[in-house]
Amino acid sequence: MSNAPLMPKATAVWLVENTSLSFAQIADFCKLHELEVKAVADGEAAQGIKGLDPITSGQLTREEIEKGQNNPDYRLQLAVSKVRLPPVKPRKGPRYTPVSRRQDRPNAILWLVRNHPELKDTQIIRLVGTTKSTIAAIRDRTHWNAANLAPADPVTLGLCSQIDLDFEVAKAAKANPEAVLRKEEDNETLLPAEVTTGDDASSERELDVQSVFAKLKQLKRDDQDEDDDGR
**Rg of the chain's alpha carbons, rounded to an integer?**
25
Same domain, 133 and 61: no
Same domain, 123 and 56: no
Same domain, 184 and 107: yes
pLDDT at 6: 80
pLDDT at 82: 59
Same domain, 116 and 184: yes
Instruction: Answer whether residue 162 is part of any domain.
Output: yes
Residues in the chain with pLDDT values less than 70: 1-2, 81-102, 177-231
Same domain, 105 and 48: no
pLDDT at 197: 47
pLDDT at 221: 64
pLDDT at 43: 82
Instruction: Answer whether residue 52 is part of any domain.
Output: yes
Instruction: Answer whether residue 207 is part of any domain.
Output: no
Range of the domain at 19: 8-70
| Nearest-angstrom CA–CA distance, 35 and 50 | 19
pLDDT at 222: 59
In the Cβ-directed half-sphere of 151, how many Cα atoms lie within 13 Å? Answer: 14
Please state the domain count of the chain. Answer: 2
Same domain, 109 and 174: yes
What are the contacts of 165-172 at 24+ separation with CB within 8 A? 165/127, 166/7, 166/8, 166/9, 167/88, 167/90, 168/119, 168/123, 168/126, 168/127, 169/116, 169/118, 169/119, 170/1, 170/4, 171/90, 171/123, 172/116, 172/118, 172/119, 172/120, 172/123
Instruction: Answer whether residue 90 is part of any domain.
Output: no
Same domain, 115 and 177: yes
Same domain, 60 and 106: no
List Cβ neighbours of 162 (8 Å cut-off, separation of 6 or more).
Answer: 7, 9, 10, 49, 155
Instruction: Answer whether residue 220 is part of any domain.
Output: no
Instruction: Answer whether residue 103 is part of any domain.
Output: yes
Same domain, 121 and 182: yes
Percent of the chain at pLDDT > 70 equals 66
pLDDT at 211: 63
| Nearest-angstrom CA–CA distance, 45 and 179 | 18
Instruction: Answer whether residue 58 is part of any domain.
Output: yes
pLDDT at 135: 93
